[in-house]
């Protein structure tokens, strides 16, 4: 867990008895703490000396999508509770997915939050294909069809707040996150409601020009009505009629503040929304800690210069490279080998009955060995390498070489994914990931895995650099070394390939993908 400090300027003159409440910021999905820098700057300039911290969970960009929501909230709370500057109370703002993280943190972790501000929030979930504009293509079907399967709930954050109005019972039973923090189940957690009612103010903003969230009114706790694509109204929403987490009470107490902005989703924390922010939201940060708290903080004061705009490893190139780090290919296949004959495997391809004995027919197959669900390592790695080089030659790229250190790192990555966890990835290498739900990994060869990545070539468009990131990574010319890792658990196979130097770097696709000579066969230009 990392944090981005915009500024720490602790008062050292004990005659000055005013300290603005600190501020915690949480970014949205497929973003990083750096993306909150502009908004943080607005607060710094408006309230001199204010402590503003932007929280990062894991590596930020990737983990905002690939860590389940419950895990993200857990890590978020741990970081808040470890920061001594926040112990006396603070204001907190969350953007988009971050709105759910900050609210869940208030409910579950009993944080001393004074004003809670959420912008373009997803409080009543989302449903529809607009969000998919942000996600890799391979995630679309997984979320839209299998969101409430445990495998997807434990793998993709969006599944935790995917609210299908045509399957509300399945949503309440199968979703691991949103029904809980919204108190929608039969057994309610009264602590959630109690903690929400402790707020001085709860501010909610939705945008009438939001092109990503559907419905955008979810930012006001108004999702789609049952069996409908029409947003709920006040007298339909259980949050208000049943006061599940205190929304009705907060409204009656005058603590609920609702605004509508008029910017695109992606501009919420940036310049196009600055005027709205200053006119409507800024005042909720204009409050101070009690005098005793000010003096206590001053006793332990330190002063840190405001940082410049941070980028990874000091280079814009490395920062932009992270934008293409989610090279994960998820394959969902009906499994007719499992028990329950007569069950509809096509409808529920992710379910499993816990069976676990699978034997390889050949050494290049994914197999269970020594009870670890591993892969015969030497032979399998060689086949993956050979298949890479076969396709790379077709694309006029040099052969890759094996790298033992990358092998070890790739194995660690695969096993952490299999355990529902994640690791901080280095900017020194990039990755492709293949995830397959199957009860018989012996049918999955190295040839199949690499071909699945390569077959994206027909989607490749150099003008849209993220159009086929598995393919482009596989044939990236500047990559020299390859490491392969694997894991198999609970009917799910994980294959990880690490590449060094890294590929998929923005602005370099034209020189690294495909043959330069026009008379050479080049699938990437078809």
- 366 vs 82, 376, 412, 451, CA distance in Å? 43, 7, 17, 15
What are the E-state strand segments in 135-262? 201-207, 256-261
d(CA 199, CA 247): 11
- 70 vs 50, 149, 177, 350, 354, CA distance in Å? 30, 16, 6, 21, 24
**Using an 8 Å Cβ cutoff, are 271 and 38 in contact?**
yes
What are the E-state strand segments in 195-319? 201-207, 256-261, 303-304
Active site residues: 96, 210, 265
User: How does DSSP classify residue 505?
Assistant: -
d(CA 521, CA 336): 40
240 is written with which tokens? 């208000």
d(CA 308, CA 316): 13
d(CA 397, CA 417): 30
Q: What is the number of alpha carbons within 13 Å of residue 267 lying toward its C-beta?
A: 16
- Pick left, alpha or beta for residue 243 (phi over 0 → left; psi -120 to 50 → alpha; otherwise beta): left
Q: What is the 3-state secondary structure (H, E, C) of 78-130?
A: HHHHCCHHHCCCEEEEEECHHHHHHHHHHHHHCCCEEEEEEECCCCCCECCCH
């Amino acid at each position: 867990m990392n944090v981005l400090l915009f500024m720490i300027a602790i008062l050292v003159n004990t005659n000055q008895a005013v300290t603005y409440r600190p501020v915690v910021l949480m970014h949205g999905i497929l973003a990083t703490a750096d993306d909150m820098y502009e908004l943080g700057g607005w607060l710094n300039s408006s309230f001199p000396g204010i402590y503003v911290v932007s929280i990062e969970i894991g590596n930020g960009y990737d983990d905002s999508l690939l860590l389940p929501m419950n895990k993200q909230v857990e890590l978020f709370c741990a970081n808040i509770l470890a920061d001594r500057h926040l112990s006396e109370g603070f204001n907190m703002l969350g953007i988009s997915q971050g709105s759910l993280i900050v609210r869940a943190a208030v409910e579950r972790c009993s944080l001393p939050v004074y004003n809670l501000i959420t912008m373009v929030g997803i409080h009543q979930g989302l449903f529809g294909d607009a969000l998919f504009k942000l996600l890799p293509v391979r995630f679309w079907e997984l979320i839209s069809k299998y969101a409430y399967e445990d495998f997807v709930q434990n793998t993709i954050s969006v599944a935790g707040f995917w609210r299908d109005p045509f399957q509300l019972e399945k949503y309440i039973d199968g979703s691991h996150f949103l029904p809980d923090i919204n108190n929608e189940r039969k057994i309610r957690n009264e602590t959630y409601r109690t903690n929400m009612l402790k707020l001085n103010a709860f501010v909610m903003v939705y945008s009438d020009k939001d092109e990503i969230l559907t419905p955008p009114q979810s930012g006001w706790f108004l999702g789609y009505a049952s069996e409908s694509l029409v947003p709920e109204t006040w007298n339909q929403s259980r949050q208000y009629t049943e006061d599940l987490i205190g929304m009705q009470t907060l409204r009656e107490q005058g603590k609920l503040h609702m605004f509508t902005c008029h910017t695109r989703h992606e501009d919420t924390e940036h310049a196009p929304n600055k005027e709205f922010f200053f006119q409507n939201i800024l005042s909720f940060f204009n409050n101070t800690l009690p005098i005793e708290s000010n003096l206590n903080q001053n006793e332990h004061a330190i002063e840190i210069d405001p940082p410049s705009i941070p980028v990874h490893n000091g280079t814009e190139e490395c920062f932009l490279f992270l934008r293409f780090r989610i090279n994960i290919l998820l394959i969902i296949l009906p499994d007719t080998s499992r028990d329950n004959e007569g069950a509809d495997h096509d409808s529920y391809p992710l379910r499993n009955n816990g069976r676990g004995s699978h034997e390889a027919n050949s050494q290049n197959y994914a197999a269970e060995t020594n009870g670890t669900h591993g892969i015969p390592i030497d032979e399998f790695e060689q086949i993956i390498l050979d298949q890479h080089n076969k396709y790379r030659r077709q694309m006029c790229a040099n052969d890759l070489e094996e790298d033992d250190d990358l092998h070890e790192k790739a194995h660690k990555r695969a096993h952490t994914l299999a355990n529902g966890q994640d690791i901080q990835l280095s900017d020194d290498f990039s990755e492709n990931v293949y995830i397959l739900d199957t009860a018989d990994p012996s049918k999955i060869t190295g040839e199949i895995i690499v071909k699945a990545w390569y077959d994206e070539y027909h989607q490749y468009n150099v003008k849209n650099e993220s159009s086929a990131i598995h393919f482009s990574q596989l044939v990236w010319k500047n990559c020299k070394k390859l490491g392969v890792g694997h894991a198999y658990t609970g009917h799910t196979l994980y294959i990880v390939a690490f590449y060094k130097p890294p590929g998929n770097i923005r602005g370099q696709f034209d020189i690294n993908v495909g043959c330069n000579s026009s008379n050479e066969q080049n699938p990437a230009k078809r």
